[in-house]
Amino acid sequence: MAGSKEGLAYWGDKPVAVVTDPSWGDNGKGKVVDEAAQYVEMVARYNGGPNSGHTVKNERGKFVFHGVPSGILNPEVLCIISTGSVVNPISLGEEITELRKIGVEISASNLLISRDSHLIMPWHRMRDNLQETVRGGNKIGTTGQGIGPTYSDRALRTGFRVKDLLNPQFEEMFDKELLLQERLSRFIRGEPLISDLYIEELDGQNTQMIAEMVRLALQTKYYDHDAILEQIREAKDIIGPMVTYVLPVIWDYKDKGKKIVGEAGQGALLDLDSEAFPYVTSSHPTAAGFTMATGIQGKEIDAVIGVTKGYSTRVGKGPMPSELHDEIGEYIQTVGEEWGATTGRRRRVGWLDIPATRYGIKIGGIDTIALTKIDVLDELDKIGICVAYEVDGQRYNDMPSADPDFMSKAKPIVELLPGWRKKTSGIRAFEALPVETKQYVNRVQEYLGKPINIVSNGPEREAIIYS
């Protein structure tokens, strides 16, 4: 495998590592996982779905992965989509097809999909967007990819799983589910239902009635029955050979001492169990989420790497105490190309939020930091760090809660450090960085209380410094 001596030493010392994010996501996990994939044998996506947009840039070009794990560019690495993730078969099939067109090798030899992952269907996306519309001014700010409704179905012990695609009766199951979802979509919109029948009556006892209901459903403006089925058939042909029981494969790699990296979607502050509710995702990006998805327990994890930028960003709704609403924020937004890889929405930008990041480190189980995008700050005269909050006249060095009510009242206490006003991209050794850059990194490390072992100063794979 390709890679540097420093990278081999870093990743080679960690048979099982988890790459997550201590804050709100979008901090460069894809780049770090792509780098790790040069030294490990397995990359396992363990939560989320196509709401993630993991960007990788190397000698082959720029890639944005949504459903496919970020280790896929190394054909020697086995990539896993675990049960903790949800799968949109249509978009995943399209993503695989597009990657194959540009020469990326993808087959059952390097990508396996858990048969027990829940499927994101078109009605989940519809429900996602309908629910956001109904919320009006109280929108959560979802990506609209159907993630929440799919996890909701999983919690309700309903919906389809990947293995259902391989069931000979799938199309009959599909017809009944489409009927139910049509009724639900109309109900959410407050429209007349297509029948006064109760769902409980649709149990196969009155086939003529069911046939009439299906006929009406085929005419709906919400879902195109035939088009969806055709898309799913095409997707099944692509992903079907990759569907399997993934846990025995993961455990076999672990037992044989092969190196495994877990890849999170989103960030610890968006964990479903976070106090930041309702501005959270519907899964578990923390190290605990990796354990739930893989069966590899915390005591067996050798390192949890928290990826965070040299400044803070957030997409969607929810309080962000250090947010910048001035020309500096606009500058960082522009130079850092801060817009969502999945939604295209502009990311909100602020100084690096130490209380929030430190909180995320604790709930995320993080023990080492990868600090990315420091090159975005190269031209600034002063660089701020939000070191504490003021809430109702009281100073908080640590965030006692991620509760939105508390965070919405938090005023940032900012420490300004001198900028370096020098180009850092292209530098490949920590000692060679400008003095002020090293001072900044060391100051952040001091505040976070965790070692910063990786510094990234550019989007390219090789723009990584092991410190």
Which residues does 266 contact at the CB level (< 8 Å), separation at least 6? Answer: 21, 24, 25, 47, 48, 51, 52, 281, 283, 285
Task: Kindly state the tokens that stand for 29.
Answer: 């996990």
Contact present, 296 and 258 (Cβ < 8 Å): no
Cα 89–chain centre separation: 17
Closest CA to 364 of 266, 224, 433, 442: 266
Rounded CA-CA distance 23/358 in Å is: 9
Residue length of the chain: 467
Residue among 21, 26, 128, 271 flagged as catalytic: 26
Residue among 34, 54, 153, 375 flagged as catalytic: 54
Rounded CA-CA distance 210/216 in Å is: 10
Q: Give the torsion through C-alpha atoms of 61, 67, 73, 79, to 10 deg.
A: 170
Rounded CA-CA distance 416/414 in Å is: 6
Rounded CA-CA distance 355/389 in Å is: 8
Cis, peptide link before residue 278, omega less than 30° from 0 = yes
Q: How big, in percent rounded to 5, are the helix, strand and coil portions of the chain? A: 40, 20, 40
User: 128 an active-site residue?
Assistant: no
CB atoms within 10 A of CB 447: 19
Rounded CA-CA distance 207/213 in Å is: 10
User: 26 an active-site residue?
Assistant: yes
Closest CA to 464 of 23, 31, 16: 31
Closest CA to 464 of 152, 11, 149: 11
Rounded CA-CA distance 179/154 in Å is: 19
Task: Kindly state the tokens that stand for 355.
Answer: 């209380």
Cα 305–chain centre separation: 15
Contact present, 393 and 329 (Cβ < 8 Å): no
Task: Kindly state the tokens that stand for 365.
Answer: 């189980």
Instruction: Tell me the longest C-alpha to C-alpha distance in the chain.
Output: 79
Taking each helix axis as running N to C, give the angle between helix 170-188 and helix 122-135, from 0 to 180 degrees, rounded to the nearest 10. Answer: 10
Question: Which positions are annotated as active-site residues?
Answer: 26, 54
